[in-house]
Amino acid sequence: MMQLLQESTSYIQSKSEGFVPEFGIILGTGLGALVNEVEVYHTLSYADIPNFPVSTVESHSGKLILGLLAGKRVVVMQGRFHYYEGYTMEQLVFPVRVMKLLGVKKLFVSNAAGGLNPRFNTSDLMVITDHINLLPGNPLIGKNIDELGPRFPDMSEVYDEDMIREAMVIAEDADFDLSEGVYASAPGPMLETKAEYRYLSIIGADAVGMSTVPEVIAARHMGMPVFAISVITDMCTPDRIKKVVLADILEAAAIAEPRLTMLIRELVKRS
C-alpha cells in the first residue's frame, strides 16, 4: 500500500512542479463551485493518476485541483468516491492518504445529506460534530500501516472543535444560520425507508448520507484535523418525506453552495 501511495504522490508532484498543499478539500454532490474561487495552478484527471479510483457518479467531475484559495495552498477533490460504487474501503480513502503524503495539514469535507432533525430545512448547512458509521467496515481493518498512524487511533474528538467554533463565528458575522449535528453514513445507493429514517433518528443522527466517514477515519488515523459539513438536500422526518430524484438534490445543494463556499474559503483563510 505504501508503494502505491508513493507512486501516486510522486506522479502528482511531478505534474504539479513540486506544489506542496497545506489544506485538502473534498467536495460532495452538487458542491463543486468552490473550484471557481481557486487560483488554479494544476488540474489532474483522476484517470491519469496512477492507482487512483475513478469517480462513476454523474455529478462528480473526477478532477484533482491544485492552487491557491484565499492565498493558501490547497488540493481540491472535485468529486469523491463512495462505497456503493463498488470500491473497497482502502480505495475510498486512498486520495486522503495521498493528500497527507503531499503535505496536507488539515482536511475539509463537504457532502449532501438527508435531514433527520425536524428543526432543519432543505438547503440548510450542518456542521458535523460527530458521526455514526453504518457502513460495513472501515478503512483501518486489516494490517495497520504504521507509517501512516497507530493501530488503535482515538476517535473521541473526530471533528476539530477549534474549526467548528470558528465556522460558527463566520456564519454569525455573515448573518446566516449554521446548525450542528451528528452525521450517519449508510451504504446506499438507495435512499432509506421510512422505518430506517425512524431508526436513524432514534440512535442519534441528525443527518444521513453515503460518504465522508471513511475519509474522516483515515484522516484522523494520520493525525489530520478535520472540518466537515453537510448540505441538507431533502427532509427525512415522518411528516416531510417525499420521493426524491437527483435533480432535486442538486437544486437544493445549489441554493446552499454560495454560503458553503464562503464558509470554507474563510476557514481556510483564517487557518
pLDDT of residue 33: 82
pLDDT at position 31, please? 76
Q: State residue 58's pLDDT score.
A: 57
Rounded CA separation 271/266 (Å): 9
* C-alpha span between 57 and 60 (Å, rounded): 5
Domain ranges of the chain: 2-270
pLDDT in tens, the chain (271 residues): 999 999 999 999 999 998 999 999 999 877 788 899 999 999 999 999 999 988 766 554 689 999 999 999 999 999 889 999 999 999 999 999 999 999 999 999 999 999 999 999 999 999 999 999 999 999 999 999 999 999 999 999 999 999 999 999 999 999 999 999 999 999 999 999 999 999 999 999 999 999 999 999 999 999 999 999 999 999 999 999 988 888 888 899 999 999 999 999 999 999 8
pLDDT of residue 244: 84
The secondary element (H helix, E strand) that includes residue 64 is strand 63-69
185 bridge partner residues = 133, 209
Distances in whole angstroms, Cα of residue 162 to Cα of each of 11, 40, 155, 217, 267: 34, 28, 16, 18, 11
Domain 2-270 superfamily per CATH: Nucleoside phosphorylase domain (3.40.50.1580)
The answer to whether 230 and 203 have CB atoms below 8 angstroms apart is no
Rg, Å, the chain Cα set: 17
Would the CA dihedral through 14, 16, 22, 26 be positive or negative?
negative
- What pLDDT sits at residue 161? 97
117 close to 181: Cβ distance less than 8 angstroms: yes
- Cα gap 151→174, rounded to integer Å: 42
